[in-house]
Amino acid sequence: MRILLIDDSTTMRRIQKTQINGLGITDVIEAGDGEEGLKKLEQSMPIDLIMLDWNMPVMDGLTFLKKVRTMDAYKDVKIIMCTSESEKTRVVEALKAGANNYLVKPFTPEALKEKLGI
Amino acid sequence: MDVSYINPFVRATIDCFKTMITDQILPLTPSLKRQPFSCYAISGIIGLSGEAQGSISLGFSMPVAVKVVSDMLKTQINETYPDLPDAIGEIANIIAGNAKKELSKFNLSISLPNVIIGENHTLAGEGGAPTILVPFSSGSGDFMMEISLKTK
């Protein structure tokens, strides 16, 4: 499984990457915002799953999500929003925009494992 | 400012620390900030806007910030660790993001984190709104939360 991890916080990327590695997945690509994420997505296909932060500079997660869902090449890529945005309205907004799942920070390795379906 | 507004931030801080940093986290008695004082070496600040405006900040001494981030990363770092400000900002971001779920009536948006570094810096409050201080005792050391929320 190859995962694209998009989060502007280097700390959160480091923590999430460690959690992902702990689940036996070592193929992890990182990006610091949605714009960089689009470039990495284009360069690194096939990507199986994207873990996507919401609040980021340059291009936020929701904008990235909406763009990706208009592109046929990426229609099968699963996207999990991983964000501190925890209100029900935000969750619904992300799911309507095409997110497959939603994980609220802070989360445990067990919660991540469940969302990844491993 | 209705002091009940601080409870979501206190609960979010406890949840964030218990999940990511240390099981030992205890809020101490809140108080009203009557005058600016200088005691922090690094602060993570999140702006709040919407039907209410304000900010939430977490202020740390440098040794406590280093211990908090070391515990968060499960790796010993020191004060020259380049991502120390990022980590402190992200903690503030997670707390603000989780707290605003319970303050949905204000339709709050949160800013990207700002981090201030400098020994004994002072945080000025939101103009026209009181600032509530909430000290925390944790397994990683003591720190202070400052909450200022001006409702319309």
pLDDT per residue as tens digits for the range B72-119: 999 999 999 999 999 999 999 999 999 988 888 888 888 888 999 998
Q: Which of B151, B149, B124 is nearest to B55 (CA)?
A: B149
pLDDT range class, residue B2, cuts 50, 70, 90: low
Q: Which residue has the higher pLDDT, B62 or B151?
A: B62
Domain that holds residue A18: 2-116
**pLDDT at position B126:** 62
Strand B52-60 relative to strand B143-151: parallel, antiparallel, unpaired? Answer: antiparallel
CA dist., res. B33 & res. B80, Å (int): 31
- Smallest CA–CA distance from A106 into chain B, residue: B16
Helix H segments across B21-151? Answer: 62-73, 84-99
- The CATH number for A29's domain is 3.40.50.2300
B50-76 burial, b for 16+ CB within 10 Å, e for fewer? bebbbbbbbbbbeebbbbbbbbbbeee
**pLDDT at position B110:** 85
Name residue, tokens 């515990």: B71
**pLDDT at position B14:** 97
Return mean pLDDT, chain B. Answer: 90
Check pLDDT > 70 for residue A58.
Answer: yes
Mean pLDDT on B5-31:
93
Query: What 3-state class would DSSP assign to B129?
Result: coil
End-to-end C-alpha distance for chain A, whole angstroms: 11
Is A15 in contact with B73 (Cβ distance < 8 A)?
Answer: yes
| Identity at A31, one-letter amino acid code | A
Name residue, tokens 């379906």: A117
Q: Which residue has the higher pLDDT, A88 or B26?
A: B26
CA-based Rg of chain B, rounded to a whole angstrom?
Answer: 14
Name residue, tokens 């707290």: B99
Q: Are A8 and A82 in contact (CB under 8 A)?
A: no
Question: Which residues does A contribute to its contact with B (CB < 8 Å)?
Answer: 8-12, 14-15, 18, 55-57, 83-89, 104-108
Mean pLDDT on B9-36:
92
Check pLDDT > 70 for residue A12.
Answer: yes
**Domain residue extents for chain B:** 3-151
Per the structure, the count of domains in chain A is 1
pLDDT range class, residue B30, cuts 50, 70, 90: very high
**Superfamily name with CATH number, domain B3-151:** CheC-like (3.40.1550.10)
**pLDDT at position B125:** 67
> If residue B45 lies in a helix (H) or strand (E), which one and from where to where?
strand B38-49
Q: What is the distance in angstroms between the Cα of B74 and the nearest Cα belonging to chain A?
A: 9
CA dist., res. B148 & res. B56, Å (int): 6
**pLDDT at position B101:** 86
Q: Are B128 and B150 in contact (CB under 8 A)?
A: yes
Mean pLDDT on B60-71:
97
Check pLDDT > 80 for residue B54.
Answer: yes
Chain B stretch 82-141, residues whose beta carbon is closer than 8 A to a beta carbon of chain A: 83, 86-87, 89-90, 93-98, 100-101, 104, 110, 112
**pLDDT at position B115:** 95
| Identity at B84, one-letter amino acid code | L
Residue B111 is given by DSSP the state P
Check pLDDT > 80 for residue A33.
Answer: yes
Q: Which of B111, B1, B3 is nearest to B57 (CA)?
A: B111
Inform me whether the C-beta atom of residue B54 falls under 8 Å from chain A C-beta atoms.
no
Mean pLDDT on A97-106:
94
pLDDT range class, residue B124, cuts 50, 70, 90: confident
Mean pLDDT on B28-42:
86
pLDDT range class, residue B1, cuts 50, 70, 90: low
**pLDDT at position B84:** 97
Q: Which residue has the higher pLDDT, B130 or B79?
A: B79
End-to-end C-alpha distance for chain B, whole angstroms: 10
**pLDDT at position B127:** 65
- CB contacts, 8 Å: B74 with chain A: 18
